């Protein structure tokens, strides 16, 4: 929290940035990372501190750079499909969906209804799974490792379901242009519903143990406040914005797949600090569970799940460009794909929500926070570096 006092030990802020002289000896520059600072992936924070309080923060990425966007320039459309999911570990499905959706739109392909339902189900499962991993980081960064143990276990149960459905635990490689690769295995739906019950039960415990924890409340409340006027300035999306009372959810605003056939309300909060964001996310987890149940109930029992593609070895897509977005756990995930009429995409641009959250926003929010809270702050923004450096 920014506390301006007379004779403050902090240097003056000019345009939101501290003015300080490092050689004065009053300040110290330390690095946090690039080990995972919480469960956020490898990135590092270059912190200038005064005592244990941060007066300047500079983020550094590049520890995970694999050049996905460049790799795709050399690959045929179908060959990009195994690449995209690797852009984000906790919820690869959004990459798969968005790349497929862009390709389908450019190629003028309509996928079967069943595929749309299965994709929606998959995306909601991915959201839930990603949130479960996030709780682990959030709780862990405030010293509540036990909760992380619970939710990471639950995440594994979810991964079991993914494994049975798609054949892979982490990188599912399931939604490809044209639809999905397979229908549900026998008995899988029941297993999914059982797992949801277990998750729900544990979530209740998490609420008790975390959201009603005096220590957590003391540390998280007031940490890294995002005000509604910052939202557009920094391109903030997802729960980070919703916690500030900004009612925006792509699933509702620009419904994709079958979200217009599902019944849900946009979750909003009143104050976007670390605690408020936690609250929103936990409510969104209950929402995801509810959505999955709705999908299971409403979706057609059978039907084709894949549209015939032209021979993928020679598949050329008409020149054009498009942008598709979806609401992932962290906010707006988007793919911009440009085709020049050849068999390989000219440009694939991946818009990950962490791009703005973890860099510009983090640098802004970190100032005048306590060094011990940086990990918690970072996790509360729910960022994943691989989508920053695609």
Footprint of another protein on 166-205 (CB under 8 A): 166-168, 171, 173, 179-183, 185, 205
How many residues lie near another protein (CB under 8 A)? Answer: 89
| 97 close to 258: Cβ distance less than 8 angstroms | no
3-state per-residue secondary structure call for 131-190:
HHHHHHHHHHHCCCHHHHHHHHHHHHHHHHHHHHHHCCCCCCCCEECCEECCCCCCCHHH
Q: Which of 209, 225, 296, 371 binds another protein (CB under 8 A)?
A: 209
Asked if residue 222 binds another protein (CB under 8 A), the reply is no
Q: Which of 9, 29, 217, 298 binds another protein (CB under 8 A)?
A: 217
Considering only residues 37 to 76 of the shown chain, the ones binding another protein according to CB under 8 A are 58, 60-62, 65, 67, 69-71, 73-76
Taking the C-alpha atoms of residue 314 and residue 193, their distance in angstroms, rounded to an integer, is: 41
Nearer to another protein, 69 or 91 (CB): 69
CA atoms within 13 A on the CB side of 63: 15
Q: Which helix (H) or strand (E) holds 379?
A: helix 374-380
Q: Which of 213, 266, 290, 368 binds another protein (CB under 8 A)?
A: 213
Structure tokens, 262: 């599902």
CB of 9 to another protein, least distance (A): 26
Nearer to another protein, 1 or 182 (CB): 182
Structure tokens, 385: 């570096």
CB of 52 to another protein, least distance (A): 24
Nearer to another protein, 309 or 371 (CB): 309
CB of 29 to another protein, least distance (A): 15
Nearer to another protein, 28 or 188 (CB): 188
Binding characters for another protein, 128-167, by CB under 8 A (x = yes) = ------------------xx-xx--x------x--xxxxx
Pairing of strands 53-60, 44-50: antiparallel
Q: Angle CA(82)–CA(357)–CA(172) in degrees, nearest 5?
A: 20
CB of 3 to another protein, least distance (A): 21
Which of these ranges, 90-98, 122-130, 269-277, 300-308, lies near another protein under the rule CB under 8 A?
Answer: 300-308
Binding characters for another protein, 237-266, by CB under 8 A (x = yes) = x----------x----xx------------
Nearer to another protein, 51 or 304 (CB): 304
CB of 263 to another protein, least distance (A): 19
Q: Angle CA(43)–CA(273)–CA(60) in degrees, nearest 5?
A: 15
CA atoms within 13 A on the CB side of 205: 13
CB of 268 to another protein, least distance (A): 14
Considering only residues 9 to 38 of the shown chain, the ones binding another protein according to CB under 8 A are none
3-state per-residue secondary structure call for 177-205:
CCEECCCCCCCHHHHHHHHHHHHHHHHHH
Contacts of 323 (CB under 8 A, 6+ apart): 102, 334, 335, 336, 351
Q: In which region does residue 224 sit, left (phi positive, over 0), alpha (psi from -120 to 50) or beta (all else)?
A: left
Nearer to another protein, 290 or 338 (CB): 338
Considering only residues 312 to 351 of the shown chain, the ones binding another protein according to CB under 8 A are 312-314, 320-323, 325, 332, 334, 336, 338, 346-347, 349, 351
């Amino acid at each position: 929290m920014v506390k301006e006092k007379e004779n403050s030990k902090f240097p003056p802020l000019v345009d939101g940035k501290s003015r300080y002289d490092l050689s004065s000896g009053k300040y110290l520059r330390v690095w946090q990372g690039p080990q995972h600072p919480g469960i956020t992936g490898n990135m590092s924070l270059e912190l200038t501190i005064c005592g244990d309080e941060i007066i300047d923060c500079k983020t550094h990425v590049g520890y995970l750079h694999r050049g996905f966007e460049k790799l795709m320039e050399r690959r045929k459309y179908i060959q990009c499909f195994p690449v995209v999911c690797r852009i984000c570990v906790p919820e690869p499905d959004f990459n798969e969906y968005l790349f497929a959706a862009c390709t389908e739109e450019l190629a003028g392909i309509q996928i079967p209804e069943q595929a749309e339902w299965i994709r929606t189900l998959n995306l909601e499962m991915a959201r839930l799974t990603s949130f479960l991993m996030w709780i682990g980081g959030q709780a862990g960064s405030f010293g509540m490792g036990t909760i992380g143990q619970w939710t990471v276990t639950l995440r594994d149960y979810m991964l079991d379901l993914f494994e049975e459905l798609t054949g892979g635990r982490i990188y599912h490689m399931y939604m490809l242009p044209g639809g999905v690769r397979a229908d549900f295995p026998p008995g899988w739906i029941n297993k999914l519903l059982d797992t949801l019950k277990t998750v729900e039960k544990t979530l209740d415990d998490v609420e008790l143990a975390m959201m009603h924890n005096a220590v957590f409340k003391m540390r998280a409340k007031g940490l890294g406040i995002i005000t509604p006027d910052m939202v557009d300035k920094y391109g903030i999306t997802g729960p980070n914005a919703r916690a500030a009372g900004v009612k925006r959810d792509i699933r509702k605003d620009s419904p994709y797949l079958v979200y217009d056939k599902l019944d849900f309300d946009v979750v909003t909060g009143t104050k976007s600090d670390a605690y408020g964001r936690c609250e929103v996310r936990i409510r969104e987890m209950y929402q995801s569970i509810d959505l999955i149940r709705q999908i299971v109930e409403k979706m057609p029992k059978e039907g084709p799940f894949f549209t015939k593609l032209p021979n993928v070895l020679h598949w050329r897509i008409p020149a054009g460009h498009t942008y598709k977005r979806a609401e992932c756990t962290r906010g707006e995930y988007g793919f911009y794909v440009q085709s020049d009429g050849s068999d390989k995409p000219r440009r694939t641009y991946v818009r990950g929500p962490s791009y703005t959250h973890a860099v510009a926003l983090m640098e802004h929010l970190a100032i005048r926070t306590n060094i011990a809270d940086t990990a918690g702050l970072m996790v509360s923004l729910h960022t994943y570096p691989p989508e920053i450096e695609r």
